[in-house]
Chains A and B, each alone.
Chain A
Amino acid sequence: MYRENSAKRVSGKIGKIFPLAFMYLFLTLLLLICVLPFLLVLINSTHTSIDIVTRLNLTFGTALSENYEKMQSSVNIWQGFGNSLMISVPFTALTGYFSALTAYGFSKYRFKGNKVLFWVVLFSMMLPSQLSIIGFYQLNLKLSLLNSFLPFILPGMANATAVFFLKGMIEQSIPDSLIEAGRIEGSSEIHIFNRLILPCIMPGVATMCIFNFVSSWNNYLGPLVIMTDNAKFPMPVMIAMIKGLYQTNYGALYLAIAISVVPIIIVYIFLSRYIISGLTLGAEK
């Protein structure tokens, strides 16, 4: 990281106080912009609808349980929550395991077409996904997978980005001798992968898993097209639907949004270090 030398810093100290204050003011303003909407949602979710429309609430209210009952009376938000988990957890697990397996196959086995097939993987990263949504719908109609979680779980096995990332990692950090050692020990090939390779690249797999869990959790258009049964809706589709259901029942609406947003924020608070370093890996050389 580049810093000025100390002599320059001392000489320019007085002239710097104003820009410095300005800088922190600017950063704090941006911080407020990022946090305030969530804070308003949290606060409003504890107020009655009348409170919400008559004034701006800046402190927490007492109508949380009332809002909760109203919210649960017309739709069971936890069902959406559960559905999202039922999709995102297996999706993430499949992504982690099969991306590592594919990357291992590409990097440690010499077979005909290795390079060409890897180009296919790279090419598959370039295709814009939302544009084939109609073909995706037709496919699931043909396979009678409408209203099923499978169309959102199985694609985890073909995650080109994760394969690309993990292939680089395996090539750099797994010596061939480790695999040879395993072979001579008499382990089967799949056993070598499960017991030797996978634990070694776990940090990279975990990074991939975090991002893929989030992208799966936030997926809106896919389920919107495939799901028609309310009981199968994952969180984003349910949230988008409830606006019509609750009408002017703002307290319940705000609470529903809060429930959809808070778990992600809590997870982020605990994992933000890993998430950001996942993004900036290599920047702290």
Chain B
Amino acid sequence: MNKNCYGEGRVLCLPFTVCFISWESAPMIQNRCAATRGTKAALPKIFARVSARSALLFQKGMGISMKKKAFHKQFYGYLFISPFFIIFLIFGLYPIVSTALLSMQKWDGMLPPDFNGIDNYARLITDTTFFRSVGNTIRIWLFNFIPQMAIALLLAALFTFNRVRGMILFRAAFYMPNLITAASVGLMFNLLFNGGKSAVNHLLLMTGIIDTPIYFFESPFFTSSLVSYIQWWMWFGYTTIIVMTGMASIDTQVYEAAMVDGASKRKTFFAITLPLIRPTLIYMTITSIIGGMQIFDVPATLTNGTGEPQKSILTTAMYIYIQAFRSHNLGYASAVSMGLFLMIALLSMVSFRLLRRKEEG
């Protein structure tokens, strides 16, 4: 995850998977790299020159050059990593520390902050809106994550175990919504569903599914479900691709053994595939929790930005934003941030334990 650009949580998580997958495929990269740049062909030439010059170096005296080299290695090592750490300290670490400190202060964003001890936290544990927003966030996440996992497993199995024509096209299309700006997606679904004369109402009326137009955004249940649906729509393609990479890494001999034993397709899937891709599933669940608990863009742009109707899509991240930048309670909003942070840590730990325990049992 890229910490510092405050984007949609999980978009930023995705390269992480790339990393640990690429670990194994490094020889492939190496080959590609050598092929494109011709380094392999160039190497012998370099070595020939190197050996001639290193002979000279030997004569000049090893001791001094080695010491110098060691210093050089230290110095340039620090030099090369220093930009990262300078920027990380300023834009990564400082905001976290200052949020934690501000959570114990009263600050309206203009006058100097005032230390007020645990007042913010005392308010937090009695704040019904906060707990409501936490409930909303968890509900939206659950109704998005469960179908997302189910569809991703189904699609990944279809793509892996069958010869599907146009698989590349399907997969590319399923992944596309993930790249589109979430703020645009929120407004797009607002336009498609809002009011009695919206495109979706026209569609439903035309096909005879309904007789009178539905005012979707007057129903808290519908609006909350729509947010879950949009999140599902944006993420099921990504999840499918990651689950597929997990499935592809399973040794085909395991399947051959199962086939020889006469195991049915379904049984093979549940008894072999699922347990073997558990690390992938754990990774997906935890990154999904971290991203899903911070959800902001879609619910903030789908209706009027305050979680209407009846605060049904007021998520905790939206509550933080509203408290901080609409009501100017930046200190209290920091306390809410800390509360959410605690919740994310807790949920991640619980789900990790749950998923791991299954493995042991």
Interface residues in B7-35 by Cβ distance below 8 A to A read 7-9, 11-12, 14-19, 21-30, 32-33
Are B32 and A261 closer than 8 Å at their CB atoms?
Answer: no
- Interface residue stretch chosen among B126-134, B218-226, B247-255: B247-255
- Interface presence of B59 (CB below 8 A): no
User: Which residues of the other chain, A, contact B49 by a CB distance below 8 angstroms?
Assistant: 181, 184-185
Could you say which of A164, A171, A276 contacts B241, with CB atoms under 8 Å apart? A276
Are B162 and A165 closer than 8 Å at their CB atoms?
Answer: no
Are B23 and A200 closer than 8 Å at their CB atoms?
Answer: no
User: Which residues of the other chain, B, contact A110 by a CB distance below 8 angstroms?
Assistant: 73-74, 77
Are A155 and B5 closer than 8 Å at their CB atoms?
Answer: yes
Q: How far is the CA of A233 from the CA of B206 in the complex (A)?
A: 39
User: Which residues of the other chain, A, contact B86 by a CB distance below 8 angstroms?
Assistant: 157
User: Which residues of the other chain, B, contact A282 by a CB distance below 8 angstroms?
Assistant: 21-25, 28, 245, 249
Are B191 and A250 closer than 8 Å at their CB atoms?
Answer: yes
Q: What is the CB-to-nearest-CB distance from B11 to chain A, in angstroms, rounded to a whole number?
A: 5
Are B15 and A128 closer than 8 Å at their CB atoms?
Answer: no
Could you say which of B7, B22, B47, B170 contacts A204, with CB atoms under 8 Å apart? B22
For the residues of A in contact with B, the DSSP-based class is: helix
- Interface presence of A162 (CB below 8 A): yes
**Which B residue's beta carbon lies closest to that of A117?**
B81
Are A151 and B77 closer than 8 Å at their CB atoms?
Answer: no
For the residues of B in contact with A, the DSSP-based class is: helix
Q: Using a Cβ–Cβ cut-off of 8 Å, how many residues does chain A contribute to the interface with B?
A: 131
Are A164 and B19 closer than 8 Å at their CB atoms?
Answer: yes
User: Which residues of the other chain, B, contact A121 by a CB distance below 8 angstroms?
Assistant: 84
Could you say which of B43, B81, B180 contacts A102, with CB atoms under 8 Å apart? B81
Are A139 and B98 closer than 8 Å at their CB atoms?
Answer: yes
- Interface presence of A37 (CB below 8 A): yes
Q: Which residue, A34, A163, A184, has most C-beta atoms of chain B within 10 A?
A: A34
User: Which residues of the other chain, B, contact A54 by a CB distance below 8 angstroms?
Assistant: 197
User: Which residues of the other chain, B, contact A127 by a CB distance below 8 angstroms?
Assistant: 1, 3, 92, 96
Q: How far is the CA of A282 from the CA of B333 in the complex (A)?
A: 43
Q: What is the CB-to-nearest-CB distance from B300 to chain A, in angstroms, rounded to a whole number?
A: 7
Q: Using a Cβ–Cβ cut-off of 8 Å, how many residues does chain B contribute to the interface with A?
A: 139
Are A261 and B95 closer than 8 Å at their CB atoms?
Answer: no
User: Which residues of the other chain, A, contact B183 by a CB distance below 8 angstroms?
Assistant: 218, 220, 236-237, 239-240
Interface residues in A234-270 by Cβ distance below 8 A to B read 235-237, 239-240, 243, 250, 253-254, 257, 260-261, 264-265, 268
Are A172 and B179 closer than 8 Å at their CB atoms?
Answer: no
Whether A157 touches B53, Cβ cut-off 8 Å, given contacts A128-B290, A133-B6, is no
Are B4 and A155 closer than 8 Å at their CB atoms?
Answer: yes
Q: How far is the CA of A200 from the CA of B245 in the complex (A)?
A: 25
Are A218 and B182 closer than 8 Å at their CB atoms?
Answer: yes
Q: How far is the CA of A256 from the CA of B66 in the complex (A)?
A: 63
Are A240 and B199 closer than 8 Å at their CB atoms?
Answer: no
Interface residues in A175-211 by Cβ distance below 8 A to B read 177-178, 180-181, 184-185, 189, 193, 199-204, 207-208, 211
Whether A254 touches B191, Cβ cut-off 8 Å, given contacts A184-B54, A268-B179, is yes
Are A165 and B19 closer than 8 Å at their CB atoms?
Answer: yes
Whether A33 touches B320, Cβ cut-off 8 Å, given contacts A260-B181, A261-B188, is no
- Interface presence of A17 (CB below 8 A): no
User: Which residues of the other chain, B, contact A135 by a CB distance below 8 angstroms?
Assistant: 94-100, 102, 334
Are A172 and B77 closer than 8 Å at their CB atoms?
Answer: no
Are A168 and B26 closer than 8 Å at their CB atoms?
Answer: yes
Whether A102 touches B199, Cβ cut-off 8 Å, given contacts A40-B192, A276-B171, A283-B245, is no
Q: How far is the CA of A134 from the CA of B336 in the complex (A)?
A: 11
User: Which residues of the other chain, B, contact A125 by a CB distance below 8 angstroms?
Assistant: 1, 3, 16
Q: How far is the CA of A229 from the CA of B22 in the complex (A)?
A: 42
**Which A residue's beta carbon lies closest to that of B198?**
A53
- Interface presence of A72 (CB below 8 A): no
Q: What is the CB-to-nearest-CB distance from A258 to chain B, in angstroms, rounded to a whole number?
A: 9
- Interface presence of B62 (CB below 8 A): no
- Interface presence of B308 (CB below 8 A): no
**Which A residue's beta carbon lies closest to that of B154?**
A26
- Interface presence of B116 (CB below 8 A): no
User: Which residues of the other chain, B, contact A93 by a CB distance below 8 angstroms?
Assistant: none
The 5 closest A-B pairs by CB, nearest first: A109-B77, A155-B4, A105-B80, A172-B26, A135-B95
Can you list 11 A-B contacts (CB < 8 A)?
A: A2-B161, A27-B164, A106-B77, A111-B74, A111-B77, A199-B37, A203-B36, A218-B180, A240-B183, A257-B188, A279-B242
Besides the known contacts A2-B160, A200-B33, 20 further A-B residue pairs in the complex with CB atoms under 8 A apart: A1-B160, A98-B84, A128-B9, A131-B96, A132-B95, A135-B102, A151-B91, A155-B87, A164-B16, A172-B26, A173-B26, A202-B36, A204-B29, A215-B12, A216-B7, A217-B181, A240-B301, A272-B172, A279-B245, A285-B249
Residues of B within 8 A of A (CB): 1-9, 11-12, 14-19, 21-30, 32-33, 36-37, 39, 43, 46-47, 49-50, 53-54, 57, 72-74, 76-81, 83-88, 90-100, 102, 109, 151, 155, 158, 160-165, 168-177, 179-184, 186-192, 195, 197, 199, 202-203, 206, 233, 237-238, 241-242, 244-245, 248-249, 252, 255, 259, 290, 293-294, 296-297, 300-301, 305, 317, 320-321, 324-325, 330, 333-334, 337-338, 340-341, 344
